[in-house]
Amino acid sequence: MRDDAIVLGLESSCDETAAAVLRADGTILAEAVLSQQEEHARFGGVVPEIAARAHLEHLPRLVAQVMDRAGLGYGDLAGIAATSGPGLIGGLIVGATLGKGIAIAHGLPFVAVNHLEAHALTATLPGILPAAVLAVLPEARGRDALPAAGDGRHAGPVRFPYLLLLLSGGHCQCVAVEGVGRYRRLGTTLDDAVGEAFDKSAKLLGLPWPGGPALERLATQGDPAAVPLPRPLLGRPGCDFSWSGLKTAVAQAVARGPLTGQGKADIAAGFQAAVAAVLADRAAHAIAMVPGATALVVAGGVAANQAVRAALAGAAARHGLPLVAPPIRLCTDNAVMVAWAGIERLRRGLTDELGHAPRPRWPLEELAA
């Protein structure tokens, strides 16, 4: 695939409707993301039927918008990539069907993108690393080492193999990324996703949805040591996660109220500190499991949390690795990552039949087959 080849990416797996046009050298020609936050806020969470209808209403317009901004016609494209799982099935059907329709109409190859693979490969997108690399020990910086933030040196994409912490409202897992289509899951949550724990703890504190950003803001006003909260699986072998007990502890702390504003801030700070400590501990275990890893990459909505980033940066630095966190807009659901995953698969001649069915569950490990 030539570096000037162009791919259209579509994302509709949950409550963000997105389209992007990307060149194979990593240049983003145009992107658009439409949040559905207002539609779902009054329900306190994502309603699948509302999400699917919003994708159906807005995705064709966003596609036309990015194509116009990029100054392209469909004949200029080398392929179409659309998220086809995992996610909410209604939204996946909308995006995949639109992608297939464009592919049929213009004789283009179609790539059914695994949403988790799109997150996993974002760190290999050229041009993001100077702002994305958060920490690396000075003694680890050899000729081929990735630079620390502010080094000013050119940075190429992260090299395989690397470790991925995927942290979102629907996913919490640690994966060894060994190559495109080659993934080895090292650990996953035994109950809740970490983003779900953020949202539900925020709801217990009376904060608006989405709860993660609201809880992070409140935590800045609190004392993380004021309310003792558990750190599930801290120090245990492996890198599995468990968040239900921490969420229950928050509920018990709230029930002991009545709470003042400071009391809520203290609980929020304690919750956030517990999450950050557990994630750093699990990351350290994962690094030990993959001694040849070149970097620790964090992606997903929870990767936007600054306390989590700082804790993971410390864990990575203690093992001589950089922490790579893509820009926040590329950590959350977006179509740039979908187009890039499509490009990486097209480079290898990996396309999908138009009969490929969207999948609400689609483990990364199944891509190798």
**Backbone φ, ψ for residue 194 (5° rounding):** -65, -35
**Backbone φ, ψ for residue 33 (5° rounding):** -130, 130
Residue 270, annotated as binding a ligand: no
Residue 170, annotated as binding a ligand: yes
Residue 245, annotated as binding a ligand: no
Residue 114, annotated as binding a ligand: no
Residue 150's contacts (CB-CB under 8 Å, 6 or more residues apart) are none
The type of residue at 257 is: G
Strand order in the sheet with 28-35: 28-35, 16-23, 6-11, 79-85, 110-114
Q: Cβ-count burial of 343 within 10 angstroms (0-12 exposed, 13-18 middle, 19+ buried)?
A: buried
Residue 150, annotated as binding a ligand: no
Structure-block tokens of residue 263: 């009391």
Residue 169, annotated as binding a ligand: yes
Residue 99, annotated as binding a ligand: no
Residue 319, annotated as binding a ligand: no
Q: Identify the CA nearest to 241 among candidates 196, 197, 181, 194.
A: 194
Residue 168, annotated as binding a ligand: yes
Residue 166, annotated as binding a ligand: yes
**Backbone φ, ψ for residue 75 (5° rounding):** -70, -15
Q: Which residues are annotated as a binding site for substrate?
A: 166-170, 199, 212, 216, 305
- Binding positions are 115, 119, 166-170, 199, 212, 216, 305, 333
Q: Residues annotated in the binding site for Fe cation, as ranges?
A: 115, 119, 333
